[in-house]
Amino acid sequence: MDAEQNLMTAGEFNTKVKAWASKVRNTSRGVLTKTHSGGSLSRKLQISVRFDKEKIWLERVGFRFLRYGAFREYGAGRGYIVQNGVIVRGYSEFRFKKNRQIWKEKGYDDNKIKAIKHTTSGGLDIRRSPLSWLDTPIRKNINELGDIAGEYFGDDSLQHVLEQLNKITIKKSYGK
């Protein structure tokens, strides 16, 4: 990319992207502070960036947080599962030793057995609710990030950022 085509330098672009990420992180921390008693999720929320191969401009920005943050985002965990977008009381087939053995005999590994979810019957009170502590601040500020990218890369980048919005929200990552 020719430097004369850019409306800002790579350093300015990197600074603005980091400022955008800080703004989103601070908004997320504010949501958690107001509505969530678990301060460690807020304290350990970190910005993660990756540079391009030439180490000139930021290619990727993300957020690292404690694993239970994803459960809090969706209102799941501690006996609750999300089924068809609704939080319900549930359990995993892995919970029962006999059933687990039957599934293993059919060739299922532990992870696949854990993924087999069932809901409990009856009118149990649902005491969990989703808290959009990260996805919403990202969505509300995504146009600003698109504008920053547009200034540096050109108009096509805004459209690209908006098309990639679904990839920016919380992504499950196991084994880390």
Query: Read out DSSP for 64-96?
Result: E--THHHHHHHT-BTTEEEETTEEEEEEEGGGS
pLDDT tens readout for residues 107-116: 989 888 877 7
What order do you get walking across the sheet with 86-92 strand by strand? Answer: 80-83, 86-92, 117-119
Mean pLDDT of 111-126: 68
pLDDT tens readout for residues 34-52: 876 558 889 999 999 999 9
List, in order, residues 6 or more apart from 134 with CB less than 8 Å away: 24, 28, 45, 63, 65, 69, 73, 169, 170
Mean pLDDT of 138-167: 79
Q: Which residue has the higher pLDDT, 173 or 164?
A: 164
pTM of the model: 0.66
Q: Is 132 helix (H, G, I), strand (E, B) or coil?
A: coil
| Contact predicate 118/93, CB 8 Å | yes
pLDDT at 149: 87
pLDDT at 1: 47
Taking 80 as the threshold, does the pLDDT of residue 173 lie above it? no
DSSP conformation class of 51 = E
Taking 90 as the threshold, does the pLDDT of residue 140 lie above it? yes
Q: What pairs with residue 51 in β-bridges?
A: 58
